[in-house]
Amino acid sequence: MAVEFLKMKWANAINEVVIGATKQDGGSRSSVIKVGGQTTLPYLSDEGSIPNPPVIAYEIWDATPGDWSEVLKEPFGNCLGKPVEWAKKCVNEFKADLLCLRLMGAHSDYGNNSAEKEAEVVKDILKAVDKPLIIIGCGDDEKDNLVLPKCAEAAKGERCLIGSALQDNYKTLAASCLADGHNIIAESPIDINIAKQLNILISDMGLSQDRIVINPTIGALGYGLEYAYSIMERGRLSALNGDKMLAMPYVCFVGYESWRAKEAKALEKEFPEWGNEKDRGIAWEMVTATALLQAGADILVMRHPKAVGEVQKTINKLLEK
């Protein structure tokens, strides 16, 4: 007797967002990155289409990280604090297809750079490497409102992904992305209703839905990961069931959350029962990323090359039929 499995039929697809612009598109990138486009839940390829696999972006800074563990610093050597060299290393040595530039140099704790200086950093990286670029502010809303528009203008035509837009602070960045042809990251504090409302507000400004990516704000393993997972899962179910204002791809800042966990960076001599510190942080980042993949993450922003390599193997395996 033949067994027939029940297959779900969904009413809607996730929007496809294109990051990067080739010469043909008016930019200078050698390739573009496409995310989203799914018509089914993560990795259920028998039930629908998964045209674009999840992608991993290497996170680089324009300043020397002050709180990174030695394990995390080691792969990048003397490139830390030199964003152009750091970007080249990620592309040439670690084979990055996507980069995420965090403009920490604009923060008062890391130099308080001007908007003009940060815009020059963006220009230099775009000249040095030809991969698509995500640009993230320093986390100070007032400073980011000055810096990000300048950086958007400096990267005009390159179709970057720029963030983050918040519910109380989205208009300036949305207007810049609209004017300079970029995509936007809409950040919400692990709240599906705020995520939807923010997408509506940004869309009302004229930015099309296929230029919005949701940052649901995640936690790392042991730090709220299960709650973030449930919010992402609810959002994806709503989107596939027809809610177009939640049908945006997800970006998850895995490296940022994972490596600030105490368990990822504590010294072995302080907590010998926790095991080898050289493996612990990498494992923390890997496990966090793997869980979020199955919650529906489309872009993972990661840090350690070894963690990136192992998670890429997991993505390849999950996509096998």
Q: What is the pLDDT of residues 101-138, one digit of tens each?
A: 999 999 999 999 999 999 999 999 999 999 999 999 99
Question: Token pair 């970029």 is at which residue?
Answer: 182
Q: Regarding the domain with residue range 24-318, which homologous superfamily does it belong to in the CATH classification? A: Dihydropteroate synthase-like (3.20.20.20)
Compute the average pLDDT of residues 285-295.
97
Q: Could you tell me if 54 and 95 are in contact, meaning their C-beta atoms sit under 8 angstroms apart?
A: no
* Res. 1 pLDDT band, cuts 50 70 90: low
pLDDT over threshold 90, residue 5: no
| Most distant pair of Cα atoms in the chain: their distance | 71
Q: What is the tens place of the pLDDT at every residue in 242-282?
A: 999 999 999 999 999 999 999 998 778 888 888 888 899 99
Q: Is the pTM of this model over 0.85?
A: yes
Q: Give the contacts of 199 (CB within 8 A, at least 6 positions apart).
A: 186, 209, 212, 214, 245, 246, 248
User: Using CA of residue 290, residue 166, residue 138, residue 152, what is the dihedral sign?
Assistant: positive
